[in-house]
Amino acid sequence: MPVQLPITTYGMDVLRKTTNPVEKIDKNIIELIDNMFYTMINAYGIGLAAPQVNSDLSICLVDISCIDEYKDVKPLILINPVILDSHGESTKDEGCLSIPDVRGEITRPDKIFLKYNDFDMNEVKIEIDGFLSRVAQHEIDHLHGKLFVDYLSKESMSKVKSQLRKIQKRKVETDYPLFEN
């Protein structure tokens, strides 16, 4: 039975570190991914990266099928993902389970060409666009110690600074468990 893992929050070191590649799929990796899906769903998230559950592995999940217009989009399990190329650009509102109650307008490429490993450690290459691409980029950023707030303008960042300090001090309430360090 999967368990809900606590989410790491803004200010924790694990969110600023580059992850380590997954070398092989074993029962621990499968259990981690099962727990990550369970955690993401129970936190009403649409993406989750391993650092957000205090793991240093290069794994992230994307599942936007809970949104009506994307109900037919299959979830992605991205192991060791690398963005090879990108095209276009759009600006949209983003948030993050690790930075509760903070949102911001973020500009990202519209379309990405991506490679990652599947459960058999085979290399997969895909092109994705639109909302799926945006969420994947957000989660892949986590694997490199980058957060969506890093893209905010100075003006936007100044507006959320006090909220970020509250999160750092763990003075925030969520409907999901937060990691205590």
Q: Which of 69, 89, 94, 139 is catalytic?
A: 139
Cα–Cα distance between 152 and 130 in angstroms, integer? 20
CB atoms within 10 A of CB 49: 30
Residue 145: how many CA atoms within 13 Å on its side-chain side? 10
Nearest CA-CA partner of 51 in 23, 17, 95, 4: 17
139 part of the active site:
yes
How many helices (H) does the chain have, and how many strands (E)?
Answer: 3, 7
- Catalytically annotated residues: 139
